[in-house]
């Protein structure tokens, strides 16, 4: 009887491994929101890693994480590295493409808790009332990534983070616009 149970378990494990191995490697998670701010303001927040702490939902995973920003000050070549708790992990971001008010593409290299490379793409479409912003993450999953997608609804989980991040991005943009309006009014009032 015990041997039948072991054989059944072995068949289930092998079946799961085969199923996972045959899953597609490519993945894409995407969310879009309309932000009530101009594309120039959104672009500035995306193109500068110094600004990401204001809107990225991942920053709150470990407020005490080690962070390092280097390379170019903004745009192509800017780099951001982090090393945090088990929830945040360790990795680095590098801006690879930066088209003002249109697109920012970021390479994401994760080192811990697992090794993976993905890409975040932010697409900006200006309109008369603000900016339509699409946040897309794409890449190829290894075996462990494929196993996660079988066991968990990664699109839903990550999508919630993207939705929160887009909302916070809009709020940061509105805050910047308000500061700019106050500074402009003060400058006019002082005659400069």
CA distances from 92 to 108, 124, 153, 155, 181 (A): 6, 23, 25, 22, 35
CA distances from 46 to 62, 69, 103, 116, 172 (A): 21, 14, 9, 22, 11
Report yes or no on 150 lying in a domain: yes
CATH number of the CATH domain containing 151: 3.30.530.20
Report yes or no on 8 lying in a domain: no
Report yes or no on 22 lying in a domain: no
Provide the pLDDT for residue 27.
66
Q: Determine the average pLDDT of the residues in 40-49.
A: 97
With contact defined as beta carbons under 8 Å apart, do 75 and 95 qualify?
yes
- ω into 120 cis (within 30 of 0): no
**Between 180 and 127, whose confidence is greater?**
127
CA nearest neighbour of 23 among 171, 152, 147: 147
Report yes or no on 18 lying in a domain: no
| Average pLDDT of every residue of the chain | 84
Provide the pLDDT for residue 116.
83
Report yes or no on 95 lying in a domain: yes
Determine the structural domain holding residue 87 and report its residue range.
27-189
Report yes or no on 119 lying in a domain: yes
Q: Determine the average pLDDT of the residues in 40-48.
A: 97
Distance of CA 12 to the CA centre of its chain: 35
The pLDDT tens digits for 120-162 are 999 999 988 899 999 999 876 665 665 555 555 556 677 799 9
Three-class SS of 2-60: HHHHHHHHHHHHHHHHHHHHCCCCEEEEEEEEEECCCHHHHHHHHCCHHHHHHCCCCHH
Report yes or no on 109 lying in a domain: yes
Report yes or no on 19 lying in a domain: no
> What phi, psi does 90 have (nearest 5°)?
-140, 145
With contact defined as beta carbons under 8 Å apart, do 173 and 45 qualify?
yes
Q: Determine the average pLDDT of the residues in 49-70.
A: 92
The pLDDT tens digits for 23-35 are 665 667 899 999 9
Provide the pLDDT for residue 192.
63
Q: Where are the beta strands (DSSP E) in 88-190?
A: 90-99, 103-112, 116-127, 130-140
Provide the pLDDT for residue 26.
64
Tally of structural domains, the chain = 1
Has this prediction a pTM greater than 0.85? Answer: no
């Amino acid at each position: 009887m015990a041997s039948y149970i072991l054989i059944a378990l072995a068949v289930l494990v092998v079946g799961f491994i085969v199923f996972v191995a045959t899953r597609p490697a490519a993945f894409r998670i995407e969310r879009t929101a309309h932000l009530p701010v101009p594309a120039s303001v959104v672009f500035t927040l995306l193109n500068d890693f110094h600004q990401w702490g204001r809107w990225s939902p991942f920053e709150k995973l470990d407020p005490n994480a080690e962070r390092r920003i280097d390379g170019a000050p903004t745009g192509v070549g800017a780099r951001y590295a982090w090393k945090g708790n088990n929830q945040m992990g360790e990795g680095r971001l590098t801006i690879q493409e930066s088209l003002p008010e249109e697109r920012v593409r970021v390479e994401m290299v994760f080192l811990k808790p697992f090794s993976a490379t993905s890409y975040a793409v932010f697409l900006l479409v200006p309109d008369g009332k603000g900016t339509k912003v699409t946040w897309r993450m794409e890449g190829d999953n290894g075996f462990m990534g494929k196993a996660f997608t079988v066991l968990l609804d990664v699109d839903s989980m990550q999508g919630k983070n993207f939705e929160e991040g887009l909302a916070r991005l809009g709020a940061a943009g509105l805050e910047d616009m308000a500061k700019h309006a106050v500074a402009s009014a003060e400058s006019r009032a002082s005659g400069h």
